[in-house]
Amino acid sequence: MKHKIAMNAIRGVLAAVFGTWFVMSFLSQDPTRKWDKVRKKFDPSGAFVPDFRFFAPNPGVHDYHVLVRDELPDGSTTNWAELGGPHVRKLHHAIWFTGRRAEKVVLDSVSGILEYTNDKDNTPEGVQLTIPYLTILNHVTHQAPHHPDAKRTQFLICSSDGYYEEEEPNMIFLSNLHPLP
């Protein structure tokens, strides 16, 4: 008898947990995003309550580019050079494309920097302490080719309309100069 009561209690708890999870998952798909605050309160990392909207309702309409230049000892700077850039896609990339991971990190970091800078409550200096800024700075200082005499480096984030080359790229964010290791 005790075993049956315990099993019913466990089933009830599991039904409540999974029922709550299902309801929260269902509500978080609302296109008006009115439940996002509740979802973020209970699951700030987004690991347990899925958000399956993928590209909707705000699909990406721009390509982001990270450009890098170096400052030389005499105070002059090198020309801007694009870091990475979009890869030419091949058929096998539909199955296996590890290079996409680096592009995704840069895209997410750029989005994080833009989100931070668009918030009126944030200070311009504070962006340098954010994880997205530090991620791009780390990538720029350690992965980009640098002039042999370079003392400091700087990055610039631009957006473009992708394949529409008639439009000039827009400069979105310019970093400070940072010493190279």
Each of the 181 residues of the chain gets a pLDDT tens digit; together they read: 778 888 889 999 999 999 988 888 888 777 777 777 777 787 777 777 777 666 555 666 778 889 999 999 999 999 999 887 666 778 887 788 777 777 788 888 988 998 898 888 888 889 999 999 999 999 999 988 999 999 999 999 998 877 667 778 889 999 999 999 8
Residue with tokens 């473009």: 160
pLDDT reported for residue 85: 63
Cis previous bond, 57, omega within 30? yes
pLDDT reported for residue 53: 64
- CA–CA separation, 146 and 150 (whole Å): 7
pLDDT reported for residue 41: 80
DSSP summary character for residue 94: G
- Do the beta carbons of residue 72 and residue 78 sit within 8 Å? yes
**What are phi and psi for residue 157, nearest 5 degrees?**
-105, 125
- CA–CA separation, 107 and 94 (whole Å): 19
- Do the beta carbons of residue 167 and residue 128 sit within 8 Å? no
pLDDT reported for residue 87: 65
CA-based end-to-end distance of the chain: 70
Residue with tokens 């699951």: 43
**Among candidates 110, 140, 105, which has minimal Cα distance to 118?**
110
pLDDT reported for residue 146: 93
pLDDT reported for residue 55: 57
**Among candidates 53, 65, 58, which has minimal Cα distance to 26?**
53
Residues 6+ apart with CB under 8 A from 103: 84, 86, 87
- CA–CA separation, 33 and 56 (whole Å): 11
Stated pTM of the model: 0.63
Beta strands in 61-141 (DSSP E): 63-71, 81-83
pLDDT reported for residue 59: 65
